[in-house]
Structure 1
């Protein structure tokens, strides 16, 4: 259902992005892996190449938001326009709002929200010009709908991702560009490694989550594959919470 497509995945060297690259790669599409570290990208690409027809690496720092459009145009000149865009790259700056710096806020908003806007619209412009339908899947968060102390920039950025997903879905539906988001619960990744290592916090997560565990990148990757596939042809503008039942209880 995604075989022969070209999928671009940001944040592809670790965590959820890596899980998505592995899951999509097993289903037949060609891949473009985006991340800041070229060596890490090449390492992932080498692992995927035995089973994926074509794997391209595209090192780029998405915090350079004003350069995204030009970089993407150059990339498409080498690879062609992707059919699927997965916006997975993200960062967090933890701390109480009164203690965080404005730089903390700006960095989180730039990568988690502005970069998604810039890359998505650069992608959509090409798809519209080429009159081809496409899929955009954003990685939102449990924090798109809820909050806890010490996460104000991240929570604000992921709230924006949820609403941006809906706005772009409505705007681009007439072009056959479907835009959805997956909102993970607590996932065991490098981004959360300090939380996973905190025994008290980790036990709280396991007790609070109805399924009784942390999620894994694979738990997020397969719903992304579904949204990228023809099975999701009538789904757009949705934020799907993959959270082990977290928001269903209190």
Structure 2
């Protein structure tokens, strides 16, 4: 009988393996017996099968990285991303445009029964409020065209982070419908605030007290490992009938919001009225 939990002899690629969720994911996959190939702007501390340095803002380099790794794969893990301390065009350009392009380059190489998973954010949970706009953006299937659209819609894009993660959720669900016809699954996770090196960037902009509201009701940030394990599950054979899912990994935050027990708008307004700001 096949061990549906096993990654032994599976070949996988990870975008964003230097730190945080991607590093935790890569480390656990190596432990589980996978052949792990990673890309990032900085060298991963994990003992990978191969590492390729890649700046996802360089679209032509994405094709080169995929060709360099080469071969067929069983799973794609998309853990790379930029915080909103970067310009909005770079944030959306990396978090969505480049991740989508990287993934599409791998799709012809994914074996039957393979899977894709992408890290989004629970800050994107209200994506349906601007679904039409997101679908308009996603319909632009060339990187240059998508980047031009961003430049023309900066008021809609804002700081870029929430918009990019919302686009990932919509794209994941839309792409799932046709990919499953080829035996390929695609899912996404919506993490709550997580104790990774990137968190200091979020706190510098949003403020720790306000950011902590998105960690309710657990009262703490998750660990990188707690976010990595669901990613690994979704790309395993154990999740073989799960595709198009956007899985909250936020320890009851989404449940509280969806049932009205947590009113984020009111909590944020109250925090700001009390003088909470990014420096606190």
Q: TM-score, normalized by length of structure 1?
A: 0.81
2:105 aligns with one of 119, 122, 128: 122
Q: Is the 8 A contact 2:40 2:52 kept in 1?
A: yes
Kindly state the Cα deviation for residue 146 of structure 1 after the two structures are TM-superposed.
Answer: 4.3
Instruction: Compare CA radii of gyration and give the structure with the larger one.
Output: 2
Matched with 2:77 is: 86
> Distance in 2 between the 1:166 and 1:194 partners?
29
> Distance in 2 between the 1:145 and 1:207 partners?
11
Q: What root-mean-square deviation, in Å, do the aligned CA atoms of Structure 1 and Structure 2 show?
A: 2.5
Cα deviation per residue 1:83-112 (whole Å; 9 max; x = unaligned)?
110011000124xxxxxxxx8121011110
> Distance in 2 between the 1:239 and 1:25 partners?
25
Alignment of 1:1-250 (within 5 A): 1-37=6-42, 40-41=43-44, 44-45=45-46, 48=47, 55-76=49-70, 80-94=71-85, 104-127=87-110, 132-146=112-126, 152-194=159-201, 201-202=208-209, 205=212, 209-249=216-256, 250=262
> Distance in 1 between the 2:124 and 2:58 partners?
24
Q: Which runs of 5+ in 1 are unaligned?
A: 49-53, 95-102
Kindly state the Cα deviation for residue 69 of structure 1 after the two structures are TM-superposed.
Answer: 2.4
Kindly state the Cα deviation for residue 142 of structure 1 after the two structures are TM-superposed.
Answer: 0.7
SS in 1 for 2:109: helix
Q: TM-score, normalized by length of structure 2?
A: 0.73
Q: Which runs of 5+ in 2 are unaligned?
A: 1-5, 128-156, 257-261, 263-280
Aligned length: 223
